[in-house]
Structure 1
Amino acid sequence: MAAEDISKVCEAHPMIGGDGPNSYAKNSTYQKGFLDVAKELVRKAIAEKLDIDISSSSTSFKIADLGCSVGPNTFFAVENIVEAVELKYQGQGMNSQIPEFQVFFNDHTSNDFNMLFKSLPQNRRYYAAGVPGSFYGRLFPNASIHIAHSSYGIHFLSRVPKEVMDRNSPAWNRGHICYSNSTDEVVRAYKAQYAEDMECFLHARAQETVHGGLMLLTFPGSPDGSPHSRSLVSLELLGSCLMDLVRKGVVSEEKVDSFNMPVYSMSPQELEVAVKRNGCFSIDIMAELPRPLAHDTLSISPMIASHIRAAMEGMIKKQFGEEILDELFDLYRQKCEQSVINTLLGDTFLVVLRRKAD
């Protein structure tokens, strides 16, 4: 399927909008922590890898944040990129040639763009625009983006693999909501969907990114060679909570069997294979990021539960209804307190890609 067409079949699962107690805006400090951890690596990549001659033919320097959600994290990321580009110009004695900045905030059409625009920093040093649509398809004109950024976005697949929803398929994922601790057939179905999606993602970005431009991706992933049972432990735990509600008669087992999360925890090696297959980018940096939090279990467990709710509530509400949400996530918090926190938090990586010249 061509990258231009895939957006027509992409599923949209926006984070909780607004600024209420369960909103993504109030429950995304963990993701913000990785932006802080990656800040110096991003600045170093821009200082050493960005060719500022790429903006000489344009009247403005264009930055895209893909999967921006509602803030405030997207604003922190963008501000860091803008500052790093300015420092790059200043470091080369080109202070008077610093360009104007145009930032495109991208997410699905169902994203709470009203909240995003209301939250825009008053003292921002860039012109802002919203760009609706799936990043698995084309979003921008050819060779128009100088830096593309995405944080905690590309682990969401364009859709749940069809095979895991089919009762007659060997990949039917009965009793689970993700592929962690599932059969090899389920794992293969998710891997195939990831490979298809990443091919489309890179194909689209290759057309949109100027030669010499950068792509900065932060994503939760799995270390090379780690077992799939280690992947998405937090979602597997959520699935066990849903099965507890089945046993209590709160939800039907059939609804759980037909519910799967469109999430894949890729390894750096898998991403490297996709990049090489695409052929349009070089990998300049691939690094595992240290965890920004180091607190006790009791303080982290409510944070994990609230963050998972902010990200996943929309999907759960659509499948099971709103009335189970409080009970489900209270049970989830309790199970988090009994779990090994490091396995719940998982691993996070930063990759910096540079657009090759054709």
Structure 2
Amino acid sequence: MAAENSSKVCEAHPMTGGDGPYSYAKNSTLQRDGLDVSKELVRKAIAEKLDVEILPSNTFRIADLGCSVGPNTFLAVENILEGVEFKYQSQGMNSQIPEFHVFFNDHTSNDFNMLFKTLPQNRRYYAAGVPGSFYGRLFPDASIHLAHSSYAIHWLFRVPKAVVDSKSPAWNKGRIHYSNSTDEVIRAYETQYTEDMECFLQDRAKEIVYGGLMVLTFPVRPDGTPHSDSSTNVMAQLLGSSLMDLVRKGVVKEEKVDSFNVPVYTMSPQEFAAVVEQNGCFSMEIMVGLPSTLVHDPILIAQVVASTIRAGMGEDLKHQFGEEVLDELFDLFRKKCEEHTSALDPGKGVILLVVLRRKAD
């Protein structure tokens, strides 16, 4: 199965590496805030839901899926370690606290050099990098005790093929995202999301031990909210609008926009719960929305959103449109964000924390 899954060609969308002014390492405060807000909830989930009696006493294995380059992944891992240690200590099992082995996973094009250079010097775990898409097998059967992923599973395995096919009714001409497009485009993204999540859950079910946990944090749109109103989706709409402005100015060719789509789907909690139930391998232990940490300052919000999106999508945009357009593009994007801060209101988008527990077959 591992060989079969590894043969699938997944689109890679790495965050901007290095430590430059537009790097993910320096422009991921939104993601870090999510980790900070969820810190106590994750520890509480480990304390209440992790059954240490079924786990080995020698090595506890943690996988961070979609780790990028740091520093956020190191914060997440340290929080998990402390939670597991507290679990053992609270049960009077101090002498049985295991060693920890952490697997940092991301696409092969991820800047693993940056990740390894910045590994904490005083870390209390053994570290390894695992390149590859999490929409396929990554680890041996029943080898992972806790899998974690933050701000990653909303990225799809690939852009739905139909939306870049000019002969398809789902051709997404003039747009780069589904949320302000036709019903056919929306359905294509929904179908891709459902297929991807089933693959993700099925592969993790093989890799996570019975009773092991999976902790996921990702952006969602509130149940019942139209795709076009979700703040995460509004960001994609404004970016697409900025690109079309460059088309009208003759800076970017229109066919370049027509062939570029953002492979991100903002699911609802209800949609995610339905996929988990359909999969049947995990029990839903916790599902809770996290409070927003964004300050209601239009200029600051616009700056943070622009820097975050550039760090996350800069490499894809550079490859498609050329590096020379990025400064002008993101200047336009930032200004549009300032003009639409009400649409970017945190209340129109939610960061969801989910804890799943691997069922026994």
TM-score by structure 1 length? 0.97
Extract unaligned runs of 5+ from structure 2: none
- Quick one: distance in 1 between partners of 2:26 and 2:288? 28
4+ aligned runs moved over 6 Å, structure 1: none
The 1-side partners of 2:302 and 2:202 are apart by 39
On the 8 A contact 1:137/1:200 being kept in 2, the answer is yes
Q: State the match for 2:66 in structure 1.
A: 67
- SS where residue 214 of structure 1 aligns? strand
Residue 280 of structure 1 is matched in structure 2 by 281
**Which residue of the partner structure matches residue 158 of structure 2?**
159
Range moving further from structure 2, 248-257 or 204-213 = 248-257
**Alignment partner of 1:262 is 2:263:** yes
Structure 1 residues 123-169: Cα deviation after superposition (integer angstroms, max 9, x where no partner):
11110000000000000000000000000000000100000001111
RMSD, aligned CA: 1.4
Report the equivalent of 1:343.
344
Question: Which of 332, 355, 359 is the aligned partner of 1:356?
Answer: 359
Matched, 1:149 2:148: yes
Give yes or no for the alignment of 1:307 onto 2:308: yes
Paired residues in the alignment total 357
Please name the residue that 1:115 is paired with. 114
Whichever residue aligns with residue 121 of structure 1, its letter is: P
- One-letter code of the match for 2:55? S
Alpha-carbon offset, residue 341 of structure 1: 4.8
SS of 2:17's partner is coil
User: Does the CA contact (< 8 Å) of 1:3 and 1:201 recur in 2?
Assistant: no
| Change in CA separation of 1:277 and 1:7 when aligned onto 2, cut-off 3 Å | farther
Counterpart in 2 of 1:128?
A: 127
1:65 touches 1:74 (CA, 8 Å); kept in 2? yes
Kindly tell me: are residues 221 and 6 of structure 1, through their superposed partners in 2, closer, same or farther at Cα, counting changes over 3 Å? farther
Structure 2 distance, partners of 1:168, 1:9, is: 23
TM-score for both structures, normalised by structure 2: 0.96
Distance 1:270 1:61 in 2: 32
> Is the CA contact (8 Å cut-off) linking 1:7 and 1:137 kept in structure 2?
no
Task: Say if 1:3 and 1:203, in contact at 8 Å, map to a contact too.
Answer: no
Contact 2:301 2:341 in 1 (8 A): no
3-state SS of 2:218 partner? strand
Equivalent residue number for residue 80 of structure 1? 79
Q: What residue is the counterpart of 2:298 in the other structure?
A: 297
Match of 2:236 in 1: 235
Q: In 1, Cα distance between the equivalents of 2:66 and 2:3?
A: 17
What percent identity do the matched residue pairs reach? 73
Q: CA deviation at 1:6?
A: 6.3
Rounded Cα–Cα distance in structure 2 between residues aligned with 1:134 and 1:41: 27
Unaligned runs of 5+ in 1: none
Distance 1:27 1:7, change over 3 A: farther
